[in-house]
Structure 1
Amino acid sequence: MDLSRFKKAPKNLDFKELVIFENDNYMVINKPPFVPSLDERTADRSISILKLARETYGDVQLCHRLDKETSGALVIAKNPEAYRNLAMQFEHREVQKEYHAVVNGLHDFDSISVFLPIAPLKDGTAVRIDKAKGKMAETIFFTIRKYTRHTLVKCIPITGRMHQIRVHLQCLKAPIVCDPTYGGEMVFLSDIKRKFNLKNDTEELPLMKRVALHAHTIKFRDLDGQVIEATAPYPNDFEVLVNQLEKFAR
């Protein structure tokens, strides 16, 4: 199923409405899905988080990135000293991040660690496990809730490689739903709701039209050492998916 027609950035974004934390040095936003972190070279260049942030706040800098389809907590530095401060924390793996993902299958993850090296494919659009040439990556997984055929999972990345969570979950035979790149299947309401009737001549669409991955929480230190912790609420599409699973697949 081609879902590309649905994978469009929201229109008329008000950047200030995305901010979930702000002080003199940092802001944390709840990044919406389908908006790239940085300006893209090929696709529509009219919108990116960095462009929107600079239009509103001037010369600010993204401290890290999220994949285009991934929603959630993203930190922006307001000055060079703040950027260097957080860059050093990322380098020393002192930033704590928590992602939530809905995955295919039933899984009991109780601090399951995946410690496998990752290498990009030649076209740069995906990654694979490569024990010879890959860079070491580690993710820890916990089950939040199990449903009939799916599991809501908490993901703690220790390193920050491209597509790390997605490929590590694939290794656990728990691919993220709506992630065909790594084997994730779509979720349809007809899969989870009994006596579901679809109108004649109607195509059923999946409940999620993007990779079901959300950057839920981030925790780091400010310039004065004070701990900043910000939690990004689920966006509408992720919340709808979880609510439908809660309602029909418990």
Structure 2
Amino acid sequence: MKIPKFTELILFENDDLIVVNKPAFISTLDEREGGEINMLRLAKQYSDDAQICHRLDKETSGALIIAKTPEAYRSVSMQFEHRQVKKVYHAVIEGTHVFEDLFIDLPILNTGKGNVSINRQEGKRAETWFKSIKFYKHYTLVECKPVTGRMHQIRIHLATQQAAIAGDEMYRGKPVFLSALKRKYHLGKDQEEMPIMKRFALHAYEVTFKLLDGKDVIIHAPYPKDFETLLKLLDKFDS
């Protein structure tokens, strides 16, 4: 995988903070193995005191806030703690689902090793709003607004609605193949068909928070190529 130039990922920057459009397949922080490239390392090469203010799953793309100073890190961390940061994600889910401001309030328990479960007794409070944006024959583009920030929150909350994110095999989502959408799709001899997206279809689309001077800023992260391609093909062959 080609390591992107950090400067090409920047959506917003001032003296205190940077917001980047995180590519998929790059971890936010060090994974257990160490060694591999991650957003924190890329940020520190760009700005010595960089600290990451929140996490995105490795496969999730989109808006990620990075502080350049300890004051900025404290400020944004407090906003997250008090649920003042507004996050909007877009996901492509399996099936046609009409979510009109659907509110899911199901506690999530982190069971370790990157696994979580819904657990009403021991789980931590987890709340997400869902709204359908666009309908296809076999899929729906959904806006997801997490109020809390639990691990895999959007993914597992959607799975409870029999609406797994396309390609999210951990929660029974299946990859999308062009052959399933396009009639008379022919694969060359000895060719193996690859899914349209090699990851689950979740993108951190927008983030709203306060700068150190108290001004609100809304940062919008454009879709990466794979997400855009999936939507274009759904428009063409599944609408």
TM-score, normalisation: structure 1: 0.93
Instruction: Please name the residue that 1:182 is paired with.
Output: 171
- 2:101 alignment partner, SS class: strand
Gaps of 5+ in 2: none
1:47 maps to which of 37, 48, 63: 37
**Does structure 1 retain, via aligned residues, the 8 Å contact 2:24–2:58?**
yes
2:211 and 2:189 map into 1 onto residues whose CA distance is: 57
1:47 and 1:236 map into 2 onto residues whose CA distance is: 21
**Does structure 2 retain, via aligned residues, the 8 Å contact 1:126–1:181?**
no
The amino acid across from 2:231 in the alignment is V
The amino acid across from 1:184 in the alignment is G
**Does structure 1 retain, via aligned residues, the 8 Å contact 2:206–2:220?**
yes
Instruction: Please name the residue that 1:196 is paired with.
Output: 185
1:131-185, Cα deviation, whole Å (9 max, x unpaired) = 0110010000010101110111100000000000000000011000111111101
Instruction: Please name the residue that 1:90 is paired with.
Output: 80
Alignment partner of 1:124 is 2:113: yes
Task: Give the superposition deviation at 1:124.
Answer: 2.4
2:15 maps to which of 1, 5, 24: 24
1:198 and 1:17 map into 2 onto residues whose CA distance is: 35
2:212 maps to which of 223, 236, 250: 223
TM-score, normalisation: structure 2: 0.97
**Does structure 1 retain, via aligned residues, the 8 Å contact 2:175–2:200?**
no
Instruction: Please name the residue that 2:123 is paired with.
Output: 134
1:91-149, Cα deviation, whole Å (9 max, x unpaired) = 1101000000011111001100100000122x422211000110010000010101110
Instruction: Please name the residue that 1:7 is paired with.
Output: none
Instruction: Please name the residue that 1:68 is paired with.
Output: 58
What's the RMSD between the two structures over aligned residues? 1.0
The amino acid across from 2:123 in the alignment is G
Task: Give the superposition deviation at 1:201.
Answer: 2.5
Alignment partner of 1:153 is 2:142: yes
The amino acid across from 2:110 in the alignment is P
2:201 and 2:66 map into 1 onto residues whose CA distance is: 23
Task: Give the superposition deviation at 1:78.
Answer: 1.1
- 2:195 alignment partner, SS class: coil
Q: What is the percent sequence identity of the aligned residues?
A: 52
**Does structure 2 retain, via aligned residues, the 8 Å contact 1:62–1:76?**
yes
Moved over 4 A (4+): none
2:189 and 2:30 map into 1 onto residues whose CA distance is: 42
Task: Give the superposition deviation at 1:186.
Answer: 1.3
**Does structure 1 retain, via aligned residues, the 8 Å contact 2:11–2:19?**
yes
- 1:110 alignment partner, SS class: coil
Instruction: Please name the residue that 1:3 is paired with.
Output: none
State the number of aligned residues.
239
Task: Give the superposition deviation at 1:208.
Answer: 1.1
1:200-226, Cα deviation, whole Å (9 max, x unpaired) = 322211111111110000000011110
Task: Give the superposition deviation at 1:228.
Answer: 1.1
The amino acid across from 2:26 in the alignment is V
The amino acid across from 2:16 in the alignment is N
Gaps of 5+ in 1: 1-9
1:30 and 1:208 map into 2 onto residues whose CA distance is: 18
Task: Give the superposition deviation at 1:58.
Answer: 1.0
Instruction: Please name the residue that 2:98 is paired with.
Output: 108
2:132 maps to which of 143, 148, 156: 143
